[in-house]
Structure 1
Amino acid sequence: MNIEELRDYCLQKPAVTEGLPFGEDTLVFKVAGKIFLLTSISQGASFNVKCEPELAVELREKYTEVQPGYHMNKKMWNTVSLNGTLTKKQLHDMIDHSYNEVIKGLPKKLQEELAAGNQ
């Protein structure tokens, strides 16, 4: 997966926006104004995703491509390398999990609106 495929995958999700709030090199994807993925435009070799804490540790122990989130809360964020043995499905699953973790933290009314728009 390259950065364009990563971008396309993120943008096809409901209510996702992209921006550069931390400078011109850090591409950020948000759902309902909350970050679920960050990546470097110039390097494009990894991305940061939110993760349920126990799963975050499990993924780090299982895959060398998954490390504690760079410049993020290490308990809930992982940095995932695109240059490794992880399959596209595994990468998609991590992105989907991050997106869903953010949605779970939104107010119920907003969750319902997103679910209704997803049908």
Structure 2
Amino acid sequence: MHIEEFRDYCLAKPGTTEHTPFGPDTLVFKVMGKMYALTGIESFEFINLKCDPEYAIELREKFDGSIRPGYHMNKHQWNSVYTDGGVPDDLIRQLIDDSYNLIVEKLPKKSKEELIQLSNEH
């Protein structure tokens, strides 16, 4: 997966915006203001994604070295998914979806309602 494909995939999700709150080298994607994915812009080596804690451990064991505890993140809930070819692109897209959905599930009711409206406009 290339950074352009990653960026396009994230931006196609309802309510998604992109930001650089950690400086010009880190691209962050948020849904309704809550972060669900981030990566380096110049060096697209890995993507940090939120993950169910039990599934995160399972993925780290299955993709040893290609999926690791989230770099500079809560290691219990975030994984760093390396883009070196060790993880199939289809799985990366699924993990992006999972991260997005985990954040959406925790949104306040009002934000969820706004997101539904945005989804219907797409």
TM range (shorter): over 0.9
Q: CA deviation at 1:117?
A: 3.0
- 2:72 pairs with 1:71: yes
1:80 counterpart residue number? 81
Shift of 1:62: 1.0
Displacement over 4 Å in runs of 4+: none
Overall identity of the aligned pairs, in %: 52
TM-score by length of 1: 0.94
Tell me, yes or no, if structure 1 residue 2 matches structure 2 residue 2. Answer: yes
Q: What amino acid does structure 2 have at the position aligned with 1:15? A: G
Distance in 1 (CA, whole Å) between partners of 2:85 and 2:68 is: 13
The match for 1:18 is 18
Distance 1:7 1:113 in 2: 22
- TM-score, scaled relative to structure 2: 0.92
Q: Name the Cα RMSD after superposition.
A: 1.1
Could you tell me which amino acid in structure 1 is paired with residue 115 of structure 2? Answer: L
Amino acid at match of 1:55: Y
Aligned residues: 119
Q: Distance in 1 between matches of 2:37 and 2:45?
A: 14
